[in-house]
Structure 1
Amino acid sequence: MQLIPQSPDIHAYLAADEAVDHDHPLVRETADALWGATGDAYSYAEAAFEFVRDTIPHSADSGDPRVSWRASDVLRTRNGVCYAKSHALAALLRARGIPVGLCYQLLADDDGSNPAVHGLIALRLPGAPDWARLDARGNKPGVDARFALDAERLAFPVRPELGEVDYPELHAAPHPAVLAALRGAADRQELWRNLPTGIGKFPVG
């Protein structure tokens, strides 16, 4: 799909903020270790994606009740939902100068009920003609997300007939509704009850 950057300034997609805190020592340390095992932007991006996808369990799969939302906390606790894991992957990629935006989908149950916003990322690698979306949510039976730049291999293909939506906006920072849900939840059960059920555009912060 064609993504619409929220900001015309590519540097907005390299910035550190409260959630994508790639200036944190743990994020830098992790990025340095991954870079040392790869050495170029393309192989580093794939390694960072697989690291977040495979070594940080999605808390709904693991049963972990904790709610993390800062990238550094996700790396420290090895725990997070889709939003938090997206923040972690964005931080690792931005730490090595790779522009990353945050993207969202509206997903639902198989009967169209219980709509909720799902988080993923898009990156822009050197020389690439466009942004490419990646979903590091974590694989499980029925979910097989992969690192792919030419054809998307996301965790969840959108089903428009059920009211699901691919939001085209490419956000430089986490959406306020997402951050509010994460920061306001005492545990994952409370977060699940208060997941955003849609997002709109918001001004550059």
Structure 2
Amino acid sequence: MSVDIFLQETSYIDYSSPIVRDQAKALFKSVNSELEKVRIAFEFVRDEISHSLDVNAPVVTAKASDVLKHKTGICHAKANLLAALLRSQRIPTGMCYQHLTKKDDDSEGYCVHCFNAVHVGHRWIKLDARGNNDRVSVAFSLHDPAIAFANRPQYNEFFWPGIFANPHRASMNALEAAKNMQELLKALPDHMLEDPDIVEVEAEDVRLRSWFW
């Protein structure tokens, strides 16, 4: 299957916006290696863009340019920014989704968590730029998926199989409608209706295969 769909610009992955173009130029100056660009972009979004819930951000962002402008976003918004930075370099980047509890337990229900899949070195790797804190520690990795949250067997946590070219529509709607973090937490969806653009991906490393379906 062609990966061209994972290079497209969208209203949320707006890599032609001046602020995204300027940031990409600054990040990738004198960098020619695709792999190095992926690492640099991932670490920038992970470390320099705060997770809005961690800092109780006063704004709710969705599209990449707004995430960059305000330096904050939840996982979906940060994934949009990482996709925008890498797609601007013609590096195919998609989204992956996980069913997670909103809190430490399921007392407040579930939500859809987002992270990225990046096609580099003739294979897809998984990167979660959610951002580290005292409970999350994610490092760049080519070998094991760099994921913030492991599924817990005592709860209904799982990965939706496949890789998606576009952001999750219901989550984007929630981000657009919410005026603050409190409204957003109540409105975050816990389901997906879309079908993945890639259902199965052949991976060189057998340990990665289960992450693609």
Q: Same fold (TM over 0.5)?
A: yes
The runs of 5 or more residues in structure 2 that have no matched partner are: 198-213
Once residues 111 and 27 of structure 2 are traced to their aligned partners in structure 1, the CA distance between those partners, rounded to angstroms, is 33
Shift of 1:9: 3.3
Q: Does 1:146 align with 2:159?
A: no
Once residues 69 and 106 of structure 2 are traced to their aligned partners in structure 1, the CA distance between those partners, rounded to angstroms, is 35
Which residue of 106, 110, 116 corresponds with 1:115? 110
Match of residue 34 from structure 1: 27
Once residues 147 and 29 of structure 1 are traced to their aligned partners in structure 2, the CA distance between those partners, rounded to angstroms, is 24
Contact 2:161/2:196, CA 8 A, preserved across alignment: no
Contact 1:103/1:122, CA 8 A, preserved across alignment: yes
Once residues 104 and 131 of structure 2 are traced to their aligned partners in structure 1, the CA distance between those partners, rounded to angstroms, is 20
Contact 1:144/1:153, CA 8 A, preserved across alignment: no
Contact 2:76/2:113, CA 8 A, preserved across alignment: yes
Q: Which amino acid aligns with 1:20?
A: I
Q: Which amino acid aligns with 1:49?
A: F
Once residues 72 and 62 of structure 2 are traced to their aligned partners in structure 1, the CA distance between those partners, rounded to angstroms, is 9
Match of residue 77 from structure 1: 70
Contact 1:19/1:70, CA 8 A, preserved across alignment: yes
Greater relative contact order, per chain length (Cα 8 Å cut-off, separation 6+): 1
SS in 1 for 2:146: coil
Q: What is the TM-score normalised by the length of structure 1?
A: 0.90
Deviations 1:52-81 (A, max 9, x none): 000111111111121010101101110111
**CA RMSD in angstroms, aligned pairs only:** 1.5
Match of residue 11 from structure 1: 4
Contact 2:163/2:196, CA 8 A, preserved across alignment: no
Aligned ranges 1:45-124 → 2 under 5 Å: 45-108=38-101, 109-113=103-107, 114-124=109-119
Once residues 66 and 105 of structure 2 are traced to their aligned partners in structure 1, the CA distance between those partners, rounded to angstroms, is 35
Q: Which amino acid aligns with 1:150?
A: H
Once residues 30 and 171 of structure 2 are traced to their aligned partners in structure 1, the CA distance between those partners, rounded to angstroms, is 33
Deviations 1:5-56 (A, max 9, x none): xxx4311100000000011111111111111153311111101001000011
Contact 1:100/1:122, CA 8 A, preserved across alignment: yes
Contact 2:98/2:158, CA 8 A, preserved across alignment: yes
Contact 1:65/1:189, CA 8 A, preserved across alignment: no
Q: Which amino acid aligns with 2:50?
A: P
The runs of 5 or more residues in structure 1 that have no matched partner are: 1-7
